[in-house]
Structure 1
């Protein structure tokens, strides 16, 4: 049979690397068509929280699909979306009063940026500069690439990207430089500051403290700069709490959520905004409405999946599972951190990361080599350059987790011999 005419994401097809077919999944395990099994140690790109094919979420999807599969959301509504909006209001910070639906993490950030710019325009104030953090990543659409780190990800699209003000990553001991740069940008009238709270994901799982996050929020508040928290990856328990912002005791003006919103089952995203942001667009003048939508905004099936996810958070001890998983990972990371090839072993909640050898950038030849070595050992890990990270579903068993870290140890030993 000939190869299917598929163009895979983040894949250089010219290398002819194998692309295994997955037939089904259950919990933390992916089952390959050839009979092999893989432990999903990265939650299938950070989305799967409670496990694959979760029965409650699957049942909600099936039930909703038989009742109402899709309806235009401009000027219409439906029960799953209304229930989800109310459920999110009950779970999320009190200041976030409005829920805007979209369909991916990238679009939730695009929405947030447009909300922020519309806020200032409708108030009659000339504030349009966006402040970002070095090494940040917020998606692959034009707006989200503009507020992300510039490099191999977006070099070809540079002519399309808008200018931003970038502040340094708050590396340990160098936090004051971050504060000073943010203060200067906000003092000059920045419209908004967007940041991944506590962990910069695709930038290399770079981690910083809740104290830093709190101080950055305070600086923005001093100058009225809108604070956008991109919790697409960090939300839904990844950092040990429902939101990473909780650990800093802060509430953003705008919040981006996706990935774990449906437990990772189907695509859905929301951008939650404070009442002032909503009211800036509220007018009898139709020209001041918020101009954003997509065909599948608030898809009923996706909303049903998200409602099932919220029910799991309300009714089951999810935070306790997260705490147990974090403790187990800490123990495994402790055993790896003194390996000769390991640098910068670190952890926030259920996310652990380490560098293998010397840094060589995202396009390091080490990444595909390690990916293949992990695959041979029945573990799905996808290194970011020479950064190996673990971010498993919360249902992963102690035995499965031990196999993941055992595979990392074996790969480290194999690399050390070469």
Structure 2
């Protein structure tokens, strides 16, 4: 029996309607930018396995560091204990985060990092005797699958059965030069009629909304409004963090930094699950008290796992190397060239890019999980390219170590796909 057949016996996969998509592809190994299936077919991982393996699969620098660490300390509770990998990671992170970020809270995945950010924002006001029960978020945002994260997400395709149970959230559109003045007026009205505790947002790129992008100028105006009106800002950088927008964090493109940041995915280079919620000293101080009830009562068994901390530290060290920074510049430039090459194709509606994130919309109706998406996915896999279209959007977010030849294979496959739709 193949691995694919054995999978069907017991496994339930994420974001999958198994009656419509009964088959999975069994991957037996991965190295660099290549996935190998059980039939020895090779696929270029053009989305870094959901934007995690940015330094390549099984990167030897990361795996060697973790191998050394697992001989010393594998796991220890992080409540009442600490350890060197966590301390080293905190010091390295503070050096590259926006300079107002001083405190780091560990968890396990992107959704929980946002959940904690929401709890920080709500409890910040609660601890000061203020009742603020409304959150602000962008339309079409996606922040994860836990209840707080779902509440601030705007994609009902994921959240429909649960919407009656959500937190109180008001939504605004992502800003453009033409809409920012109206958005600011809306914010004034909302601030006068609602008790807004915090604003949760994906800075510059909304990943699950098919890589929808907005300008730093418009977002900065919104953040300034929030700061002036004591609305806690929570930047969800789970997808955008660690170099993907051309800077270490998307928030570094802005004049106004967030109060709280949510990090995961590329944090550990794809090796181990871990997430962080970071905050300014002002946020932390609202919880610092002789009153135990003002503490942040949230914890995960594997918080600050020493192996995951070691993987994260190694990843940050790689991110800051000249080689990786040069690769980020090369990929960014290559995407710009491809964008100019393809933007006038009659089957391309729009193109957009931020750093190493490239996306194009096809001149077809949007169907997030429709037949076109399946047709494109299967075509790309037949060409040895793992791309995961979002409806009528094809996007690239490849590992930083991808070669120019591999990039050209991705571009060529996209151009060939345009001829079959």
Q: TM-score per shorter chain, which class?
A: over 0.9
What residue is the counterpart of 2:284 in the other structure?
278
**Alpha-carbon shift at residue 91 of structure 1 (Å):** 1.4
CA distance in 2, matches of 1:318, 1:89: 20
**Alpha-carbon shift at residue 156 of structure 1 (Å):** 1.3
Q: Deviations along 1:45-89, whole A, 9 cap, x unmatched?
A: 111111111111011111112221111111111110111111111
CA distance in 2, matches of 1:183, 1:32: 54
What residue is the counterpart of 1:220 in the other structure?
226
Tell me whether 1:401 sits opposite 2:404 in the alignment: no
What residue is the counterpart of 1:347 in the other structure?
353
Tell me whether 1:303 sits opposite 2:306 in the alignment: no
Tell me whether 1:87 sits opposite 2:92 in the alignment: yes
Secondary structure at the residue paired with 1:153? helix
Equivalent pairs counted in the alignment come to: 415
Q: 2:243 aligns with which of 237, 243, 246?
A: 237
Q: 2:118 aligns with which of 113, 117, 132?
A: 113
Structure 1: stretches of 5+ with no match in the other structure: none
TM-score w.r.t. the length of structure 2 is 0.95
**Alpha-carbon shift at residue 29 of structure 1 (Å):** 1.1
State which drifts further: 189-198 or 13-22: 13-22
Tell me whether 1:263 sits opposite 2:269 in the alignment: yes
Tell me whether 1:3 sits opposite 2:6 in the alignment: yes
**Alpha-carbon shift at residue 171 of structure 1 (Å):** 4.2
Secondary structure at the residue paired with 1:344? strand
What residue is the counterpart of 1:180 in the other structure?
185
Q: How does 1:16-415 map to 2 (within 5 A)?
A: 16-171=21-176, 173-187=178-192, 188-415=194-421
Q: Judge conservation of contact 1:104–1:268 (CA < 8 Å) in 2.
A: yes
**Alpha-carbon shift at residue 176 of structure 1 (Å):** 2.4
Q: Judge conservation of contact 1:235–1:243 (CA < 8 Å) in 2.
A: yes
- From the superposition, tell whether residues 318 and 371 of structure 1 become closer, same or farther in structure 2 (CA, over 3 Å): same
Q: Judge conservation of contact 1:183–1:220 (CA < 8 Å) in 2.
A: no
Q: Judge conservation of contact 2:53–2:270 (CA < 8 Å) in 1.
A: yes
Aligned alpha-carbon RMSD (Å): 1.4
CA distance in 2, matches of 1:271, 1:78: 18
Q: Judge conservation of contact 1:351–1:389 (CA < 8 Å) in 2.
A: yes
Secondary structure at the residue paired with 1:413? coil
- From the superposition, tell whether residues 43 and 37 of structure 1 become closer, same or farther in structure 2 (CA, over 3 Å): same
Runs of 4+ in 1 over 4 A off after TM superposition: none
Q: Deviations along 1:379-399, whole A, 9 cap, x unmatched?
A: 000011111111101111110
**Alpha-carbon shift at residue 25 of structure 1 (Å):** 1.2
**Alpha-carbon shift at residue 364 of structure 1 (Å):** 2.8
Structure 2: stretches of 5+ with no match in the other structure: none
Q: Judge conservation of contact 2:73–2:306 (CA < 8 Å) in 1.
A: yes
TM-score w.r.t. the length of structure 1 is 0.96
CA distance in 2, matches of 1:361, 1:64: 46
**Alpha-carbon shift at residue 17 of structure 1 (Å):** 4.5
- From the superposition, tell whether residues 387 and 315 of structure 1 become closer, same or farther in structure 2 (CA, over 3 Å): closer
Q: Judge conservation of contact 2:133–2:168 (CA < 8 Å) in 1.
A: no
State which drifts further: 358-367 or 264-273: 358-367
